[in-house]
Amino acid sequence: MAKWQKAVAVDDFQKSYKFVHRRKEVAIFKLDDGIFAIDNICSHEYSQLAEGMVVNCDVYCPKHGSRFDIKTGAVKDFPATRGVKTFPVKIEDGFVWVKL
């Protein structure tokens, strides 16, 4: 059963943040219209999406340039062919919480 995990203070990051709970890595992104969380690892090859370039609501994998929609996890550009998982997020008492 998924539980809410306290990830990071909202003011402690600018655009992206890597959150690790046990061995699960989650990339948290702060966009103009909210905060979103997706799997941190690219579906094509091991690379951390939290380190990728964010343009509008897309993140580019820093290793091979695959592009993912931060809001839906959908893949938008090769070489990746599968999207990444998204996670529910809430803001409470100045902290980002992720449901894992």
* Closest listed residue to residue 54, CA positions, set 28, 91, 23, 86: 28
Q: How confident is the model at residue 96 (pLDDT cuts 50, 70, 90)?
A: very high
In the chain, domain spans: 4-99
Measure the CA–CA gap between 2 and 46, rounded to whole angstroms: 25
CB count in 10 Å sphere of residue 93: 8
| CATH superfamily of the domain spanning 4-99 | Rieske [2Fe-2S] iron-sulphur domain (2.102.10.10)
> Residue 9: its pLDDT value, please?
98
**pLDDT per residue as tens digits for the range 39-67:** 999 999 999 999 999 999 999 999 999 99
pTM for the structure as a whole = 0.95
Q: Which residue has the tokens 């695959």?
A: 66
Q: Which residue has the tokens 């997706």?
A: 38
